[in-house]
Amino acid sequence: MVFLNMWKQIITFLLVATWSVMALAGPVLTVVTEDFAPYSYVECGRITGYSTELVETSLRRTKAGYSIHIYPWARAFRMARSQPNVLIFSVVRTPEREHQLQWIAPIAPRSVYVYKLAARRDVQVRALADLGRYRVAATRGDVVEEQLHALGLEADLATLDESNLRKMVAGRVDLMVASELSMKAICHNAHVSCGLLERTIAMPGVGEYYVAASLGTPAATVRALRDEFAKMKASSFMQQTADKYGLSLR
């Protein structure tokens, strides 16, 4: 009986120790993003990019376990809003999204424009009010969809920017909205020459991309990541990483 009680105590101790280590280590995070060069993209079978490097560095330094995945943006954003222990980047912070996620840190400025085919002289965009006269394409789940809806416009939605570009080339839409820095990669992936496009007006408002965590992510994990991003910003690491990808942080 004494021997049995001793083994029970040992097993209990081991279980408590294991749970304690797991609690200290924190949960394994599911990290989600989209194919969005130069911020996140696949190269030689590996997810890389400016934002990816920052996020993975912060996770390694905080010793967090994680797996990283590229999904269509609507799916990634849905996971971040509905599942625990999810990290998402590069996501735009808006008043409507403020309480849907735990915001960790801004990582890059955002510049988004309305594009048209240069040959379409019948399409003239000089102000936001002009968008109402045309068919405008946007990425499903993106903040641009929300912006267009707020303007009373129904966007022609697609899962990928490349699909929107192909629709515009085919004449199925007149305009598309996309990040200026990602347009080169969008053209490459869609096998369309960027020389066919003309940039028109900038989309107003929201101006930075963020890293954020789902509401079900432990506060300790979020604090640790916030601290790490603050250190990266205070040092030259963030700027050096941006320089690698030809990005300006101003």
The CATH number for 182's domain is 3.40.190.10
Residue 23 inside a domain? The answer is no
174 and 227 fall within a common domain: no
**Bridge partners, residue 40, by sequence:** 36
Please indicate, yes or no, if residue 249 is contained in any of the structural domains.
Answer: no
Q: Is residue 18 part of a domain?
A: no
pLDDT at 16 over 50: no
Indicate the pLDDT class of residue 25, thresholds 50, 70 and 90: low
**Is pLDDT of 56 > 70?**
yes
Backbone angles phi, psi at 16, to 5 degrees: -65, -40
Residue 73 contacts residue 240 (beta carbons within 8 Å)? no
- Tell whether 120 and 56 lie within a shared domain: no
Instruction: Give residue 31's identity as a one-letter amino acid code.
Output: V
Domain-located, residue 56: yes
Note whether residue 8 is domain-resident: no
Indicate the pTM of the whole model: 0.84
> What is the C-alpha to C-alpha distance for residues 79 and 73, in angstroms, rounded to an integer?
10
Mean pLDDT for the chain overall = 91
Cα(105)–Cα(147) distance, integer angstroms: 22
Q: If DSSP codes are grouped into helix, strand and coil, which group holds residue 229?
A: helix
Check whether residue 163 and residue 102 sit in a common domain: no
Domain coverage including residue 214:
28-108+207-244
Q: Is residue 155 domain-shared with residue 234, that is, in the same domain?
A: no
Whether residues 101 and 133 fall in one domain? no
Decide: 186 and 39 in contact? Cβ < 8 Å.
no
pLDDT of 175 strictly over 90 = yes
C-beta of residue 233 within 8 angstroms of C-beta of residue 101: no
> 154 and 166 in one domain?
yes
- Average of per-residue pLDDT across 13-27: 47
- What does the pLDDT look like over 186-217, one tens digit per residue? 999 999 999 999 999 999 876 899 999 999 99
On the question of pLDDT at 18 being above 90, the answer is no
Same domain, 103 and 120: no
- 102-119: average pLDDT: 97
Query: Is 15 within a domain?
Result: no
Residues 136 and 176 in one domain: yes
104/116 same-domain check: no
For residue 188, tell me if it sits in a domain: yes
Burial class of 106 by CB neighbour count within 10 A (0 to 12, 13 to 18, 19+)? middle
Q: Count of domains in the chain?
A: 2
Same domain, 194 and 121: yes
148, 188, 193 from 119: Cα distances, Å? 24, 20, 13
Claim to verify: residue 147 and residue 213 sit in the same structural domain: no
- Residue 151 inside a domain? The answer is yes
Do 70 and 149 reside in the same domain of the chain? Answer: no
**H runs (alpha helix) in 26-151:** 50-61, 73-82, 143-150
